[in-house]
Each structure stands twice: as C-alpha cells, then as structure tokens.
Amino acid sequence: MSDLLRLATAGSVDDGKSTLVGRLLYDTKSVLADTLDAVHRASADRGLTTPDLSLLVDGLRSEREQGITIDVAYRYFATPRRSFVLADTPGHVQYTRNTVTGASTAQLGVLLVDARKGVVEQTRRHAAVLALLGVPRLVLAVNKIDLVDYDQVTFSRIAKEFTAHATALGFPEDAVLEIPVSALAGDNVVERSANTPWYSGPTLLEHLETVPVEPDPHDAPFRFPVQYVIRPRTPEHPDYRGYAGQVASGTVRVGDEIAVLPGGLRSTVERIDTADGPLAEAVAGQSVTLLLAHELDISRGDLIATSANPPRVTDEFDATVCWLSDKPLRPGARVLVKHGTRTVQAIVTQLRTRFDEQRLASTENPESLRLNEIGQVAVRTAEPVPVDDYTRDRRTGAFLVIDTADGGTLAAGLVGAPLPELDGAADDTDSHALVSPGP
C-alpha cells in the first residue's frame, strides 16, 4: 500500500473547512507546541472554552494584508500508516483557479457541505472540477451533523443526492464516500462518534489511511519527457550521453524499444541510470537517466515513449481550458503552450463552448473565456507536439497556457474533453445543463 496520499479539500469557510483541516492536524498531533499554544491563547482571548481549530489554518495577518488568503495552502500531516500532503483550496473567491490547482496533483478530493444546507450549487461545481481534473476519488464530509441532531435521515438524503451527482460526472460508485462529521466537536473526523450509531463506515482519517491510492499508471504506455541531456565529458565518462527526466507514466525496462517524439526516431533502452546505480526498470514518478543504443539528436523538449503505443503527434488538437487570468481569452489569441518539457508557440483558433459556472451549463461559440471559466477550444501549435488525451494520461494530457508578453500562466489545459458534458454536443439549444439542478 502506498504510504503517501495527496488530497485536495474544497468547500467554503462557512462549511467549516478550516475547522475540519485544523481538526485533522490537531487530532493527528501534527501541530507543534508553539503553534498550538498560540491557538489556545487566541481562543482564550476570544472567550472560548475550547480551542478554535480554524485558527490553525486561517491566514496570518500579514497574508490578509497581502491579499493572498484566496490562495491554495499546503498542509502536511502523518500517521503511522501514511503521510498526507493536503492542498487546502479556499472556496468562495476564484474557486476554479484554486480548485484546479489543488486538484491537478490530487489522488482524492474532500468536499464539505453543511448538513443543514445539504448539496448546494458550489458542491456540484467543485465536484465537476474534480471530475474534470481526473481526481480518482471523492469524499463528501457532511459537516455540522451535530446541528441536525445527528439525524440519519438528513444524512442519508444528502449522501444519496451526492452519490447520484458524482456518478453522473463519471465517478464509479465505490470511489465516492459520504461521512457524517462534526469538525467542531470531532465526531467521525479522527475519533469514531458515539452520536452516530447508525453510521457503520470509517471515520474520515480511517478512510484517508486505508483508501486504495490509484497506483501511478504503471500499466499505462511509457512516457518520458526529456528534461536535460547529461554529458559529463570528464576523463571517467568521456562519451557518456544520458537523457534525464522523470517517468510521467508507465514503466521502462532495459531493452525496451522506444520512439523519440515528435521526430519519430527509434532506438532501444540500453541502460537506466541513477546516482545510486543502474536499474532494471523505472516506474512512473521516478527520476532517472536513460541511455540509448543509438546516438540520436535528442534534446530537452523531446518525449521518449514506448514505440508500441506512442502518443499522437499533431499540431492541431481540441482541449479543455480552465482560464486563470484576468485577461480574457478570445478566438485567435497567440499564446505559448508548455507541454511536458517543451514550450511552443500556439494559436487558440476557436472557442467551441463555455461552461457557465453560474448556470452550470455550456454555451456554444462564446465570444470569450474569462477568469475562472472553463471551455472547450481548438489549438494549433507552431510545431507538432506528442499528446495523449487527458483522460488517458494526466501528465502528457496536460499543458499550461502562457502569456507571450509577461510570461504569466493564463490557463490549465487538458487535451480532449475530459467531461463529455462539456463537449457541447447539444445542437437543438444554445445551452444545456452540465449537471442536474438537484431537488
């Protein structure tokens, strides 16, 4: 079992997310004494008898002054069973920007709802973004269960509605779990609650400790973006020429036949090197150096892939973009696309659809995409790039859209249409619902 889980939380402050994250840190004893002391003192100053755990994660004064409380924050905690990297994404403002950032590397998403309010629009939007970004698993923490008197009927209704929504977005039913919690009182976060005898499932932490982590796609086709060419030219290594990179997906073994893309040259893997010695194989996530049987002209930006199942090499592709900049996107925009280790010039030739975050619907042929909007576009690149669909490969299906002028990151790009509903297939109306509006 993997001993590291990367998760992203999403939800608004009102749902008690800071308190929930604070509770996880507190109850797993991941908080050092000085921090805890400050929280106890601040809580006492406010006349509270128990510590306000949200103070553990809420922004510092200086952060608020700098206006960055809307940013993703990373938290670290560990239990004897697993280590956790938690991307804490604030809900209200700029939800797409934050959720997309947190979800891009997450293996599990934790959404929060207030048991008194149930599944709301924002819950559906967050779930849609997590689905779009390919997060494999979801947890819905039905918080403030104490405020509905630990009522099983209320919980079951919310759970049923959420499962229906998540499965409609493409999550398998066994990848979704709802848990009744009270972050404030601690029910079912780390400690099992006596107040919910009708709930037989795991606590939130038990679930995080035991949930199967989607294995890195070892069985996926091998992909290896070349980062750097290592040529020591030293007396000990006069002719050494190795291609340094991190395996993006799949597995590579000595003797494997590979193709170098976009050029298409072929060779075989002669050696897999690390500073600790050569390996027989390397798997997704490993940083290694490949030596090939033939002397080829390979440089940073090339992609080494299995020759049996290479990505398609194209200068035109459809993509979904999550727009993260104040400058709107309009058809014909000239941008840079960073895909793997290659950055190429590109034109967004067409805006096909826009996912309207307020109406939870898609609009055909929009004039622009603005901050936090998600849409389907057509991209043409100045030189061919080797791409996979995002649904097949979260690494080689992803790209950044970069501003040619100031170098800022404009958008997160996903090759293809990870959410079929975003495809804009409706032809009889100018918009269609992405998700059901709920009861």
Partner 1 sequence: MTTALDTLDRLESEAIHIFREVAGEFDRPVILFSGGKDSTLLVHLAIKAFWPAPVPFPLLHVDTGHNFDEVIEFRDRVVARHGLRLEVARVQDYLDDGRLTERPDGTRNPLQTVPLLDAITEHRFDAVFGGGRRDEERARAKERIFSLRNAFGQWEPRRQRPELWNLYNGRHRAGEHVRVFPLSNWTELDVWRYIARERIELPSIYYAHRREVYLRDGMWLAEGPWGGPREGEALVEKTVRYRTVGDGSCTGAVESDAADIEAVIAEVSASRLTERGATRADDRLSEAAMEDRKREGYF
Q: Which of residues 151 and 281 has its CB atom nearest to partner 1 in the complex? A: 281
The first and second tokens of residue 90, run together, are: 């604030």
17 lines the binding site for partner 1 (CB under 8 A): no
Instruction: Report, in angstroms and rounded to the nearest whole number, the Rg of the chain calculated over CA atoms.
Output: 24
Among 8, 20, 53, 100, binds partner 1 (CB under 8 A): 100
Residue numbers 330-359 binding partner 1 by CB under 8 A: 338, 341
Among 50, 167, 210, 274, binds partner 1 (CB under 8 A): 274
DSSP assignment string, 321-345: EEE-SSSPB-TTEEEEEEETTEEEE
Residue given tokens 């994250």 in the structure block? 21
Range list of β-strands (E), 194-306: 223-225, 228-230, 242-246, 251-253, 257-261, 265-273, 281-283, 287-292, 303-306
With contacts defined by CB under 8 A, name the span among 74-82, 122-130, 179-187, 367-375 that binds partner 1.
74-82
DSSP assignment string, 88-119: EEESSTTHHHHHHHHHTT-SEEEEEEETTT-S
Among 13, 31, 347, 426, binds partner 1 (CB under 8 A): 31
Torsion of CA 18, 19, 22, 27, to 10 degrees: -160
Q: Which of residues 79 and 156 has its CB atom nearest to partner 1 in the complex? A: 79
- Going by the DSSP 8-state scheme, the letter that residue 66 receives in this structure is H
The first and second tokens of residue 186, run together, are: 């601690």
312 lines the binding site for partner 1 (CB under 8 A): no
Residue numbers 210-239 binding partner 1 by CB under 8 A: 216, 218, 227-228, 230-234, 236-237
191 lines the binding site for partner 1 (CB under 8 A): no
Q: Which of 362, 369, 363, 372 is nearest to 348 (CA)?
A: 369
198 lines the binding site for partner 1 (CB under 8 A): no
Q: Which of residues 118 and 134 has its CB atom nearest to partner 1 in the complex? A: 134
Rounded CA separation 101/20 (Å)? 20
Among 44, 50, 66, 429, binds partner 1 (CB under 8 A): 66
Q: Which of residues 87 and 148 has its CB atom nearest to partner 1 in the complex? A: 87
Among 45, 46, 47, 62, binds partner 1 (CB under 8 A): 62
Among 183, 204, 261, 324, binds partner 1 (CB under 8 A): 324
What's the closest the beta carbon of residue 248 comes to partner 1, in angstroms?
A: 9
Kind of pairing between the strands at 176-180 and 137-143: parallel
Q: Which of residues 29 and 359 has its CB atom nearest to partner 1 in the complex? A: 29
45 lines the binding site for partner 1 (CB under 8 A): no
67 lines the binding site for partner 1 (CB under 8 A): yes
The first and second tokens of residue 46, run together, are: 């406010």
- Going by the DSSP 8-state scheme, the letter that residue 295 receives in this structure is -
Rounded CA separation 331/203 (Å)? 48
Q: Which of residues 230 and 265 has its CB atom nearest to partner 1 in the complex? A: 230
What's the closest the beta carbon of residue 319 comes to partner 1, in angstroms?
A: 14
Q: Which of residues 121 and 281 has its CB atom nearest to partner 1 in the complex? A: 281
Q: Which of residues 266 and 271 has its CB atom nearest to partner 1 in the complex? A: 271
How many residues sit in the footprint of partner 1 (CB under 8 A)? 77
How many C-beta atoms surround the C-beta of residue 48 within 10 A? Answer: 12
What's the closest the beta carbon of residue 65 comes to partner 1, in angstroms?
A: 10
Q: Which of residues 310 and 413 has its CB atom nearest to partner 1 in the complex? A: 413
Kind of pairing between the strands at 287-292 and 176-180: unpaired
Among 300, 380, 392, 432, binds partner 1 (CB under 8 A): 300
Residue numbers 107-146 binding partner 1 by CB under 8 A: none
Q: Which of 222, 215, 287 is nearest to 249 (CA)?
A: 222
What's the closest the beta carbon of residue 48 comes to partner 1, in angstroms?
A: 17
Residue numbers 393-412 binding partner 1 by CB under 8 A: 394-395, 398-400, 402, 406-409, 412
Interaction mask 275-294, partner 1, x per CB under 8 A: xx--x-xxx-xxx-------
Burial 56-87 (b: 16+ CB within 10 A, else e): bbbbeeeeeeeeebbbbbebebebeebebbbb
168 lines the binding site for partner 1 (CB under 8 A): no
Q: Judge whether 132 and 99 are in contact, CB under 8 Å.
A: no
Among 44, 48, 83, 425, binds partner 1 (CB under 8 A): 83
Among 50, 76, 334, 365, binds partner 1 (CB under 8 A): 76
Q: Judge whether 319 and 379 are in contact, CB under 8 Å.
A: yes
